[in-house]
Structure 1
Amino acid sequence: MSLHDLFVIILISLLIVELPAFGLAKLFEKAGIPAWKAWVPFYNTWEIVKVAKIRRHWFYWQFIPVAGWFISIWLLVEMVKLFGKFRFLDHAAAALLSVLYFPMIGMNPKVKYLGPEAVKNHKKTTLREWIDAGVFAVVAATLIRVFVFEAYTIPTGSMEKTLLVNDFLFVSKLSYGPRIPNTPLAIPFVHHTLPVTHSKSYTEIIHLPYTRWFASPVKRNDVVVFNFPAGDTLTKELDSADPYYDILQSEEMKQYQQLKGQIANEAELRAISKQKAREIVWTDYTIMTRPVDKRENYIKRCVAIAGDTIQIVDGILMVNNQKAFVSPTAATEYIVNTTSNTILTEEGLRDAGIRLTSEPNSLPDFQPGTANSYKINLTEQEVEILKKIPGVTLTREIEPIGDPRIFPRDTANILWSVDNFGPLWIPKKGVTIQLTPKNVACYRRAIKVYENNKWEERDGKIFINDQEATTYTFKMNYYWMMGDNRHRSQDSRFWGFVPEDHVVGEAWLIWMSWEKGVRWSRMFRTIH
């Protein structure tokens, strides 16, 4: 646990006992306790323990990290019982809305102090006991999930060989500060879709703005879980399995080819292709949107932070003109050639210490090509192992430039690939940039979608919120996320920047791993 994590836990503990202080002071007065004691953190709960005649060891349990939060909340509930508040709604209000509920009953002249004898004489029904226990469990689990950590499963091989498919992780919400949900009215333990009915698990009747308590920035090279930025719009039929923007781009390219011989003007051709593609996709699919906190969770490594400049040259990642950190478990595809008397096999490579995977619906790590030629997905350590085999030569596979799927998907002005990319500056909060024809495609979505500005382009000019603009000052920090499995990862090279409000937490610990049985060697392994 880092110092920042400990700092966050302590502050949340203080908030739980300090936020109800105003109303608690009114209740203390009615109970014959000096009101000033309600304003002193933990001294107030000590007074509750005494007046309610609760065993005093419960006071000390409050100082256990995280678990102590629930002891403090329970003590607040015990306090309202002293005033004859035994209904379920009273206890729920005391636990969840004490900052409002305590002043309400504290200033109500009809609410009288009854003392611990009233509590002792009150009997709950069996049903009520079960309801209280169930609600407490749900509230506790929800608070832990929102503020402390969340379980996450690796669904794809984009982080191989650092993280494997069916690794089960704990993701720390404390590392970057707990993010308050945009959609607080949601069914617990379900991300965005209910099982069976496949309907939304949340409502946007209440939609809260981005708020992060005790924020700490993402650090370069952290393994981060975040909400998929391009998951704001999607099709109900395919969801994020085939992202809306990929479908739209594919249809746009199809329309472009069909209209190419009919429209001579290139700008007009692209505009009409885009409009027709949108009309077709919106006719053929059911389009829906999701708020930030309900978009799919992705996991990648943060290779560059706000203010950095990245560039990829022949597969080598550079950050601020320096070769970037490469995880020892990061994998890249190599073309491996051997002499005629050297044959490579999966079994032989595994015996040599090379880990090969073949996940469903993905390319295997070992792909035989023509005679004595192979495509193999390797870490740097595994490359050194292969180099020692007589008759083996390796070359890094380099994808050609001009892939239309590559961010910012503007092949008319920018020709990049997964292996030759940039240079590109990562937006930083408070920094102002010049908007030019060369960089508009890179920053348009951040300005328009992530920072919620009205964006228009007319007569070669840019208008932001109806004002002509040649510069823009960013309101958030952004990050560049890439998978360690560099040729098998849909990451920032395809969809761009990750805004700070999309960051969920830091991947912390592998608590379980499964592949036709438990992978015991991966149990309780921290993630680097």
Structure 2
Amino acid sequence: MNYFLTYSIYVVILSLLMGISTWKLFKKMGYNPLFAFVPFYNYFIILKETEHSKWWVVLSYVPIVGPIMMTAFHLFLMRHFGKKSFVQTLLTILLPFIYLAAVNYSKDPEVEKEDDLYLTEEELASKKKDTFTGSITFAVVFATIIHVFFTQPFGIPTGSMERTLLVGDFLFVNKWSYGFRMPMRPVALPFLQGTIMDTGQKGNPKDDPKSYVDAIKLPYSRILQLKKPQRHDIVVFNYPQDSVHTAIDRKDPYVKRCVAVAGDLLEMRAGRLFINGKPEVILGDQQLQHKYIATTGSQLDIPALYKTYGFLPVQEIQTQNGFMYDFQGLTDQTAREIKALPQIIDLKEHIWEKDSAAVSYKANAARDAYTKNIDTTQSIFPINKKWNQDWYGPLRIPKKGDVVTLNQDTLPEYQWIISEYEHHHLENKNGKIFIDGKEATQYTIQQDYYMMIGDNRDASLDARFFGFVPEENIVGSPMFTWLSVQGLFKDSGSSYQADTKIRWDRMFKATNTGELHKTSYWWVAALILGLFFGWDFIVKLFKKKKEEQ
């Protein structure tokens, strides 16, 4: 069932509920009771009778925004019939159609007439409070519209994109870069991603209260898709293997660089990336960076190094003869400079051995060296290959229309595509593969896929671990950095916490151009602030003149 057909069914159901629970109230207001069943027009009448802006009716059934506006319209209607107490307001919000029906079918509901000339001071104060509450509600709705349908703020809490995007950068994401993905959970709390709150590490994340109603859902649909993600684009997407949230648009957001598109052949050789057999192209805003292991005779001054280089995630381990340091994200130049320090005995780039099937280095305080630890949540994709971060592939990125062979060797590569991303029932039993109950030796890919990898590749949980990113998970691309704060997040890859300070030189700079020197958007910020305060001044001046007349 397509998106707009499902959406229309929801509108019809809501209109029926509205009509059944309010037809008598519409009759009391002097209208044909059948109007209570007519989508949009029923709420238009309520706005007209309660003297609110009638154009608000266009927001009645908009995903996420619609439930907020409907609640406001129901409150307007109940207040029009004198239901203003705290309990009555709460019932209208929590049990909308039930309470509306209770009032509708009560003995004799009547419209409460108001005349400001005969209102008490307390009633006038209450009316002003309602007006203020309405203004706040509309401000929240307006911000929600911007957040859901145009651009969304996004913070960088980890160093996986370091030197391009820094820990503590805050971005605005353009949701129309690759066509707008329609909301899939229309009933949700605004501004929240997946959960209302984190109940803690001891509890099961699946039990955390959700910010959306999972039972009310719409299928995936994307409109006005003028282009798709290209190689080198920085892309925001929903983490494909998020097991907590079934809703695609509510999975955790990630930001990485798109290094390979559908149909490409990707390979990592000794930590260097190759696409279709050719070395990757390095853009102006990228820097090749690698992992190094240093041994020293004495302790390094990590704060001083951080101040010099700005970004230096590091793990420190004391050994019998000195210290061992795990540096992630060193450029060739930075590595040469650190190697020249007097405390350094040895500094070597760390490259995983070919066919070692290792996933990460993790420091163990009980030992004097690094050990290989397999973490099942970060195992190399696909799990049956002896690949690692530095020796990976060759792997072909699936393209819509590809017909792939299914057997026990290829199944780990395609099982998530079939069962999770393209929503088929997959079974593997007695050495045979079944899709939707039928034995299958081939499968036709139904959408394009991408490989998203962090620029800081030795400190990045990316597609090498969680696999292909489906097109339906793509959110958009960053536009510009609106705020950058050093030391706001502690990078999990670092033992050093930087002092907190604002990076003024990064603010309002474009983020997704590939150029070393980014375009500044300070003038946009100044223009928006000027328009906001200028408009506010003009409105106040107009009101003052009107009152004087």
Equivalent of 1:52, from 33, 50, 53?
Answer: 50
Q: Identity, % of aligned pairs? A: 28
For 2:208, give the aligned amino acid.
Answer: S
Equivalent of 1:454, from 426, 429, 447?
Answer: 426
Q: Aligned equivalents of 1:212 and 1:93: distance in 2?
A: 34
Q: Is the alpha carbon distance of 1:62 and 1:231 closer, same or farther for their aligned partners in structure 2, counting shifts above 3 Å?
A: closer
Question: Taking structure 2 as the reference length, what is the TM-score of the superposition?
Answer: 0.56
Matched, 1:194 2:150: no
For 1:524, give the aligned amino acid.
Answer: F
Q: Shift of the alpha carbon at 1:139?
A: 7.5
Equivalent of 1:524, from 505, 508, 520?
Answer: 508
Q: Aligned equivalents of 1:320 and 1:90: distance in 2?
A: 65
Larger displacement relative to structure 2 (434-443 or 141-150): 141-150
Residues 61 and 68 of structure 1 are in contact (CA less than 8 Å); yes or no, is this contact kept in structure 2?
no
Q: Aligned equivalents of 1:222 and 1:35: distance in 2?
A: 55
Query: Matched residue of 2:482: which SS?
Result: strand
Matched, 1:401 2:354: yes
Q: Shift of the alpha carbon at 1:165?
A: 1.0
How many corresponding residue pairs?
A: 420
Q: Aligned equivalents of 1:447 and 1:67: distance in 2?
A: 30
Larger displacement relative to structure 2 (195-204 or 217-226): 195-204
Q: Shift of the alpha carbon at 1:492?
A: 0.6
Q: Aligned equivalents of 1:443 and 1:513: distance in 2?
A: 39
Q: Aligned equivalents of 2:401 and 2:394: distance in 1?
A: 21
Q: Shift of the alpha carbon at 1:164?
A: 0.5
Residues 480 and 509 of structure 2 are in contact (CA less than 8 Å); yes or no, is this contact kept in structure 1?
yes
Residues 291 and 458 of structure 2 are in contact (CA less than 8 Å); yes or no, is this contact kept in structure 1?
no
Equivalent of 2:240, from 222, 229, 232?
Answer: 229
Q: Is the alpha carbon distance of 1:187 and 1:421 closer, same or farther for their aligned partners in structure 2, counting shifts above 3 Å?
A: closer
Q: Is the alpha carbon distance of 1:492 and 1:169 closer, same or farther for their aligned partners in structure 2, counting shifts above 3 Å?
A: same
Q: Is the alpha carbon distance of 1:66 and 1:482 closer, same or farther for their aligned partners in structure 2, counting shifts above 3 Å?
A: same
- Give matches, 1:124-523, under 5 Å: 150-171=152-173, 176-181=180-185, 190=195, 193-194=198-199, 200-202=207-209, 207=215, 211-212=219-220, 214=222, 219-220=229-230, 221-232=232-243, 291=246, 296-312=252-268, 317=273, 326-333=282-289, 356-359=310-313, 361=315, 377-378=330-331, 400-404=353-357, 405=359, 406-411=380-385, 415-428=386-399, 431-436=402-407, 438-450=409-421, 451=423, 453-459=425-431, 461-475=432-446, 477-500=448-471, 502-503=473-474, 506-515=477-486, 516-523=500-507
Query: Matched residue of 1:455: which SS?
Result: strand
Q: Aligned equivalents of 1:171 and 1:110: distance in 2?
A: 53
Q: Aligned equivalents of 1:416 and 1:510: distance in 2?
A: 35
Q: Aligned equivalents of 1:83 and 1:320: distance in 2?
A: 69
Partner of 1:86: 84
Q: Shift of the alpha carbon at 1:500?
A: 4.6
Q: Is the alpha carbon distance of 1:480 and 1:79 closer, same or farther for their aligned partners in structure 2, counting shifts above 3 Å?
A: same
For 2:331, give the aligned amino acid.
Answer: L
Q: Is the alpha carbon distance of 1:205 and 1:168 closer, same or farther for their aligned partners in structure 2, counting shifts above 3 Å?
A: closer
Q: Is the alpha carbon distance of 1:464 and 1:60 closer, same or farther for their aligned partners in structure 2, counting shifts above 3 Å?
A: closer
Q: Is the alpha carbon distance of 1:118 and 1:502 closer, same or farther for their aligned partners in structure 2, counting shifts above 3 Å?
A: farther
Question: Taking structure 1 as the reference length, what is the TM-score of the superposition?
Answer: 0.57
Q: Aligned equivalents of 1:310 and 1:291: distance in 2?
A: 29
Q: Shift of the alpha carbon at 1:82?
A: 2.3
Query: Matched residue of 2:404: which SS?
Result: strand
Residues 82 and 118 of structure 1 are in contact (CA less than 8 Å); yes or no, is this contact kept in structure 2?
no
Q: Shift of the alpha carbon at 1:114?
A: 0.9
Pairwise CA RMSD: 5.9
Residue ranges of structure 2 left out of the alignment (5+ in a row): 1-6, 293-300, 318-326, 338-347, 360-379, 487-499, 513-549
Q: Shift of the alpha carbon at 1:435?
A: 1.7
